[in-house]
Amino acid sequence: MRIGVVTLFPEQVSAVAEFGVVGRAAKRGLLELEFENPRDYALDAHRTVDDRPYGGGPGMVMRFEPLAAAILALRKRLPEGAPMLALSPQGRRFDQAMAERLAALEGFGLVAGRYEGIDERIVETHVDEELSLGDFVVSGGELPAMLVTDAVTRLLPGALGDAESANADSFSAGLLDHPHYTRPEEVDGLRVPEVLLSGDHQRIARWRQQQALGRTLRRRPDLLEGMELTAEQRELLEEYLEAKHHEQNHRSD
Ligand code: 9D3
């Protein structure tokens, strides 16, 4: 997988490949990260990459020419047909389905903007799709580019260790994860749920599935919206809600 990033801060983005899963993937050649810096294509005396917005207003806009030149240079180092994606607050929401589509490609380009944004003519002529990470504001496209790189890389065959990949990820199943516990059995008077100590693997699997369903319904009901639950899952959910209801009524015990 070759991911190219157009950015004014390549040293920031390259840090995503220094540690952990992405670091290992890069070291083993599963991931190749490439950079182009628009600054290197700013040909005026001051190497300016930004300018004031037409129509007025606060902030600066990334200039067309250095950005276009960097994108064209990057395209030459990417596989034929690799899409060019821009990180932008105006983009479509990035999600796990998108990460899976990108992981199936040979490569793609990411354009990280700074300032108020990039000249819209770049989007019209050099960008295939705009991606947003969500409804919050960060200072530029670099952290979003790192996050997309991480989400995609961990999906590459061989990127995760055996233990990590045997474990079906949260969101792949469309549900939030169940709670996790490790030693000791009791800490600060807090005990591990008895079922996890029972050694009854079927009961444990059932409890985890129930927790995953229950937590998803309470915290992220939107994730259950389009989902077709099995009869068993509906049963687990009813039992979970009944137990929570019961807890509620006995809080002061
Ligand atoms: C005042 C209008 N703001 C737009 C929402 C200005 C603005 C804020 C942040 C312009 C650019 C940016 C930089 N953000 C990104 O480049 C960005 C981003 C984000 O801020 N949130 C979520 N996803 C992304 S992807 C790229």
* DSSP 8-state class, residue 93: E
* DSSP 8-state class, residue 39: G
Please choose from 50, 131, 137, 149 the residue to mutate so as to test ligand 1's pocket, defined by most ligand atoms within 8 A of CB. 137
Q: Whose CA is nearest to atom 14 of ligand 1?
A: 140
CA-to-CA separations, 2 to 20, 30, 49, 214, in angstroms, rounded: 18, 8, 26, 39
- Active-site option among 116, 194, 200, 235: 116
116 is catalytic: yes
77 is catalytic: no
89 is catalytic: yes
10 Å Cβ neighbour count for 130? Answer: 16
CA of 119 to the centre of ligand 1 (A): 14
- Active-site option among 169, 200, 232, 247: 169
The Cα–Cα gap between 5 and 107 comes to 11
154 is catalytic: yes
Q: From first to last of its 253 residues, what are the pLDDT tens digits of the chain?
A: 999 999 999 999 999 999 999 999 999 999 999 999 999 999 999 999 999 999 999 999 999 999 999 999 999 999 999 999 999 999 999 999 999 999 999 999 999 999 999 999 999 999 999 999 999 999 999 999 999 999 999 999 999 988 787 565 545 589 999 999 999 999 999 999 999 999 999 999 999 999 999 999 999 999 999 999 999 999 999 999 999 999 999 886 6
User: For ligand 1, which residues put their CB under 6 angstroms from it?
Assistant: 87-89, 113, 116-117, 132-134, 136-141, 144
pLDDT tens digits for range 22-32: 999 999 999 99
Question: Which pTM was predicted?
Answer: 0.96
pLDDT tens digits for range 121-143: 999 999 999 999 999 999 999 99
- Residue 204, exposed/middle/buried by CB under 10 A (0-12, 13-18, 19+)? middle
Question: Scanning the structure block, which residue is given the tokens 């950005």?
Answer: 67
- Reported as half-sphere exposure (CB side, CA atoms, 13 A), residue 20 has a value of 9
β 61-62/50-51 pair status: antiparallel
Which structure tokens are listed for 140?
Answer: 């530029």
According to the model, what pLDDT value does residue 170 have?
A: 47
CA-to-CA separations, 26 to 14, 15, 44, 105, in angstroms, rounded: 11, 11, 35, 17
